[in-house]
A and B are shown apart, each in its own frame.
Chain A
Amino acid sequence: MDIVAVDGLVKRYGEVLALDRFDLHIAEGEIFGLLGPNGSGKTTAINCILQLLSYDRGDIRLFGEDMAPARYDLKRRIGIVPQQVAVLEELTVRENIDFFCSLYVADRSRRRALVDEAIAFVGLEDYTRFRPKKLSGGLLRRLNIACGIAHKPELIFFDEPTVAVDPQSRSAILEGIKGLRDEGATVVYTSHYMEEVEQICSRIMIMDGGRVLAQGTNDELKRMVAVGERIVAEAAQVPSVVLDRLRAYPHVLDATFDAGVLTIRCEPSEHNLTDVLGVLGASRVRLGRVYAEPPTLNDVFLELTGRELRD
């Protein structure tokens, strides 16, 4: 059974089509990634699923049941970690977690244990009496997460939880999400950071302009594109005649030189690196570091839309 089943969802803001026949199916225990640039419709889709937004058309089923604004029985099984830090400034860390948990769990004694567990999960034990204003950006993000997961939801939506977070906190957040999955939760994770999505998601959907461009596992998505390999070389100077010579090679899709970095995207082939180095050596281009890497989700997005994911 799909934990989340969305079919033909359409959402308009006046003339703007925010979601265009959006479909989404997520199985139990998955970490499902929604990847797309800002304004692609990720947050709108989540808000529609959670009934925060009304929508024009479509069916939304959660846990096998129709979702509606008054389905508080379903809402109590869901956790949400919004994109913006959404906590009460006047309450302390513990009071905030307890308050948001109380909107799902009425029993105080049970809640006390859940709050303690959430505090330990995000590592805020030393800050329980602090008010949000006293916390750093990373600690605030952790509090934001604790408020969303304290009631042990079966389905958790993380909407870009790592925006403006330092690398250390980001790593801790991603590990935490994997921990939640291991405990049995199903996770929907939205981001425009492809590395994060690649790192933790079992399946990924790429969105743009309110439409689904592609979905599948990380490998499945990368197999959809022509790029098989990307060769990157640091060089002081690469004449345009050399770039033309590289582009003329059979497996080379594109060659660009920008800010001392030469990037060559190639189709899958066994001798790409050897061939490229041969051309560069013959042209007497002085090279620094040279490496080859498999295609990224950005390559997938680039091929699907003709522009970079972060444009």
Chain B
Amino acid sequence: MLSTFRATIRMLLRTPSALVWGLAFPIILATMFVFMFSGFRTAESINAVPVAVVADDAWNTSTFSQVMDALAEGEEPLLSCIEVADEGSALELLSTGEVDGVFMVDGSAVTGNATAALDGPNPVLALPRLVVASEDSAAHGGANGGYEVNRSILVSIANSYAQSEALIDDLAASNSAALADPEAVARALSLDARTERVSLTRSTPDETVRFYYALMGMATLFAAQLSMLAVASIRPTASAVSARRCIAGTSRIRQLAGALLGSWLLSFAFLTVAFAYIRLVVGIDFQGREALCILGVAVGAWLATGIGAIVGSLPLQGGVSAGSGILTGLTCGLAIFAGLYGQPTMELADAIARAVPLSTWVNPAKLICDLFYSLYYYESLAPYLARLAACAAWGVAFFAFAAPMFRRQRYAHL
């Protein structure tokens, strides 16, 4: 068994197709992803929304101006405010596309109940007026998605402030003493005061990492080529060499065990190289759970070895080439449903996962993808362990299916 194990490793390391699909391809694809997603990842970060404010007296004395100041501060400000003297200048900036909206405070819109409850130097509760460009404004790139988002942010700010103002107005009407503290009023009107950043996941989801995890899924399936080649080299009908091996003094099952062990070890090594490349060179985040990822890679290699064992045991007319073709087709097909080929396929994969959750457990590429994503996304290890167990179980099932098929085959020649 040991000699078969050693010969299998030597044989696979010197088989160009095994090296290309098992080792080089994942690295090449990961490198391509780096270039593909570099723009995508930049676009994911939120840039401050440029907005013009008409800084007249009404603005300066309004509470809304304080809200705007708060939103324009900090390391990642939501807004970038440009102060102008009058409405005309602000609209000019809007029309040229330099800003995505104009805020102004109309003095006449001061709310009666609340103002009456406040003393002289207090900020004025005035409703802001927002002016934005039309949806198809040429200056803002037509139906540009970025502008749509910015406009909705500005509308959201205005609505939120209006709701707060209405709340205080009601409070003033029913219990004016509650508004005696000006700081409390300011806190109530501040958008920050009601917003707390709470992470429901282990990390802030980064859409691009899923593509790399799907790539690991695809790489795992490509690794099945190794065990397919190794098993086919012992199948009596595959070639003259395999027939010769079958009549040797070592049993076929012992040779099979050595071949599978060798191909699993090599699959594990190749996938670890791919993982290391994605982690260290591409810089994809695995949330400090690299050790668990390596365990996932090992179990993924086990799953891949099982798949290869089945295809390698099939009595195919075309021999190893036919087996390789089947595995390549299977890998490329299943990778679609893991979302590997871009945003549309990722959305398709998500839609299928929502509609048929079972599909995520039967598609090995998706299962491996989700294995890594569950480490990245969930604080709990339960989803990861469930997928790890599923991979191991699939591997056992594949071996259980392949073994009798392999044993039943006899040489037949006329």
- Residue positions of A touching B, CB distance < 8 A: 13, 16, 18, 43-44, 47, 50-54, 70, 72, 75-76, 78, 80, 82, 84-88, 90-91, 95, 98-100, 102-104, 106, 147, 151
Contact = CB atoms under 8 A, between A and B. Distances in A.
A103 B250 contact: yes
Contact of A80 (B4, B10, B239, B244): B244
Contact of B10 (A43, A90, A147, A151): A90
Contacts of A151: 249
B355 interface: no
A75 to B, nearest CB: 5
Contacts of A18: 414
Contacts of B15: 90
By CB atoms of chain B within 10 A, which of A80, A102, A103, A106 has the most?
A103
Given A52-B246, A80-B247, A103-B248, A86 B241 contact: yes
Contact of B236 (A16, A52, A80, A88): A52
Contacts of A100: 244, 248
Contacts of B4: 102-103
B311 to A, nearest CB: 20
B153 to A, nearest CB: 61
B249 A88 contact: no
Contact of B249 (A16, A72, A86, A98): A72
Interface string B196-224: 00000000000000000000000000000
A84 B3 contact: no
A72 B248 CA distance: 8
B40 interface: no
Given A44-B414, A103-B248, 17 more contacts: A16-B414, A18-B414, A52-B246, A53-B413, A72-B251, A76-B249, A82-B244, A86-B240, A90-B15, A91-B10, A91-B11, A91-B14, A95-B7, A99-B7, A100-B244, A102-B7, A103-B4
Given A85-B240, A86-B241, A87-B241, A52 B411 contact: yes
Q: When A and B form their complex, which 5 residue pairs have the shortest distance between CB atoms, in order from nearest?
A: A76-B249, A102-B3, A103-B248, A86-B240, A90-B14
Nearest to B18: A90
Secondary structure of the A side of the interface?
loop
Interface in B230-252: 233, 236, 239-241, 243-251
B231 to A, nearest CB: 15
A91 B7 contact: yes
B410 interface: yes
Given A84-B240, A90-B11, A95-B10, A53 B248 contact: no
A99 B11 CA distance: 11
Given A86-B239, A99-B3, A70 B251 contact: yes
Contacts of B251: 70, 72
B7 A75 contact: no
